[in-house]
């Protein structure tokens, strides 16, 4: 019997968030691979819902396979919202992200709703597979270079000279994202007025005013450390990333590291903690990996268990890498070019689309 090849995609396609982008990138790969799809938007998220997404595919969920871009922690709420009938008789795949080596038992219970899980990195897959009794497959995200018109620094109110960038959502557990370490490394690397600048770009600071205030205080209100909060359009965000000279992430853990991969797709040299999901696309030859030691997560980092471990990056080493990027721009350009080529070859929509098609044919056989 021949079953029609195609996927019903459920996800936060309007959300201006990493989880929303996961689903949009999946759809881009389906399109690239010529796999028919229907998109069913999910809007139950705190993130702003103003992404200009309009591709609904076939319009109705008529295919035998579902892919649901809703993480394990809120999957039961998704099922309550759409109804069990949306899953009945369909082969349902959870597109899940997770950031540390231990997957919580209460999240693992969401495995009852799915037939298999696609984790957003090999790192995430290993953690989920320890607790979820379903087939677990690593599915590093499809990556495309963000598209933007070229803008001058003055138009974006940015200084001239070498510019480092770090972007993060304050809702994404600030201790995991670790922006303080980026600021400390920059301050150690350069004196004020030396030439380089750092932009820390946040969203959802309106809900976390204390965090923005703390970051400004940590920078000593230096003019070369810019803390800027607020949502941008996709095109504006792409222009911001395109304007930087290097991207920095001193995260303690990442499920994948989407902004790091996007910066590499633009040919930017990336300095990042050499730990967790970003190692699916970052290597010692295509990026600048920062050494670390493993430490306990500690309290008040929900949903991450306090006794679990994550990385503490070496700030002195990160500062030295920042200085190296500025001192040897030719090397930085070569590293960035190598990263762009490898991300496009291994993680572009066409490459990931082939993986989807192969697995889908296995499911339907």
Q: Kindly report, residue by residue over 13-67, the tens digit of the pLDDT.
A: 877 777 778 888 888 889 888 899 999 888 876 667 667 666 767 778 889 999 9
Give the pLDDT of residue 1: 30
Q: Are residues 212 and 299 in the same domain?
A: yes
State what percent of residues in the chain have pLDDT above 90: 64
Question: For residue range 128-155, what is the model confidence (pLDDT) as tens digits?
Answer: 999 999 999 999 888 988 887 778 898 9
Q: Are residues 297 and 173 in the same domain?
A: yes
Element (H, E) at 67: strand 65-69
Q: Are residues 82 and 161 in the same domain?
A: no
Give the pLDDT of residue 2: 41
* Cβ–Cβ < 8 Å for 206, 173: no
DSSP secondary structure of 162-223: -EEEEEEETTS-HHHH-HHHHHHHHHHH--TTSS-EEEEEEE-GGG-HHHHHHHHHHTTT-T
Q: Are residues 186 and 115 in the same domain?
A: no
What's the whole-number mean pLDDT along residues 208-218?
Answer: 80
Q: In the predicted model, what is the mean pLDDT of the chain?
A: 90
Assign residue 27 the CATH number of its domain: 3.40.50.2000
The domain tally of the chain equals 2
Structure tokens that stand for 132 in this block: 């979820």
Q: Are residues 69 and 192 in the same domain?
A: no
Q: Are residues 314 and 355 in the same domain?
A: no
The answer to whether position 2 is within a domain reads no
Q: Kindly tell me if the per-residue pLDDT of 12 is higher than 90.
A: no
Q: How far is the CA of 291 from the CAs of 163, 274, 311, in angstroms?
A: 22, 6, 9
pTM score: 0.91
Q: Are residues 195 and 333 in the same domain?
A: yes
Largest CA distance in the chain: 70
What's the whole-number mean pLDDT along residues 70-95?
Answer: 93
The answer to whether position 45 is within a domain reads yes
- The CA distance from 113 to 211, in Å, is 36
Q: What is the DSSP letter of 87?
A: T
Q: Are residues 105 and 66 in the same domain?
A: yes
Confidence band of 117 (pLDDT split at 50, 70, 90): very high
- The boundaries of the domain holding residue 107 are 7-142+348-364
The answer to whether position 314 is within a domain reads yes
From 50-64, 169-183, 228-242, the region with the lowest mean pLDDT: 50-64
The answer to whether position 92 is within a domain reads yes
Q: Are residues 256 and 360 in the same domain?
A: no
Confidence band of 3 (pLDDT split at 50, 70, 90): very low
* Cβ–Cβ < 8 Å for 139, 352: yes
């Amino acid at each position: 019997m021949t079953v029609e090849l195609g996927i019903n995609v459920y996800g936060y396609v309007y959300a201006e968030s990493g989880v929303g982008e996961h689903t949009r990138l999946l759809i881009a790969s389906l399109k690239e691979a010529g796999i028919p799809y229907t998109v069913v938007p999910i809007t139950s998220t705190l993130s702003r819902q103003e992404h200009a997404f309009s591709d609904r595919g076939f319009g109705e969920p008529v295919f035998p396979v579902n892919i649901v871009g809703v993480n394990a922690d809120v999957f039961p709420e998704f099922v309550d919202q759409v109804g069990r009938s949306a899953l009945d008789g369909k082969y349902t795949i959870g597109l899940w992200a997770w950031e540390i080596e231990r997957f919580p038992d209460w999240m693992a219970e969401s495995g009852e709703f799915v037939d298999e899980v696609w984790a957003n990195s090999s790192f995430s897959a290993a953690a989920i597979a320890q607790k979820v009794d379903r087939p677990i497959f690593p599915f590093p995200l499809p990556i495309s270079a963000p598209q933007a018109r070229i803008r001058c620094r003055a138009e974006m109110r940015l200084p001239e000279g070498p510019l480092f960038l770090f972007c993060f959502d304050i809702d994404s557990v600030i201790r995991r994202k670790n922006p303080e370490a980026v600021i400390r490394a920059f301050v150690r690397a350069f004196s004020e007025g030396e030439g380089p600048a750092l932009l820390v770009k946040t969203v959802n600071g309106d809900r976390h005013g204390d965090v923005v205030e703390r970051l400004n205080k940590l920078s000593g209100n230096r003019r070369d450390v810019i803390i800027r909060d607020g949502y941008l359009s996709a095109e504006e965000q792409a222009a911001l990333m395109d304007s930087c000279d290097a991207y920095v992430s001193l995260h303690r853990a990442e499920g994948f590291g989407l902004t790091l991969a996007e910066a590499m797709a633009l040919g930017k040299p990336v300095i990042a903690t050499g730990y967790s999901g970003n190692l699916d696309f970052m290597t010692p030859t295509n990026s600048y990996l920062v050494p670390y030691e493993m430490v306990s997560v500690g309290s008040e980092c929900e949903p991450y268990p306090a006794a679990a471990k994550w990385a503490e990056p070496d700030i002195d080493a990160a500062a030295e890498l920042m200085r190296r990027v500025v001192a040897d721009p030719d090397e930085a350009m070569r590293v960035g070019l190598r990263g762009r080529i490898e991300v496009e070859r291994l993680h572009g929509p066409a490459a990931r689309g082939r993986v989807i098609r192969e697995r889908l044919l296995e499911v339907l056989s």
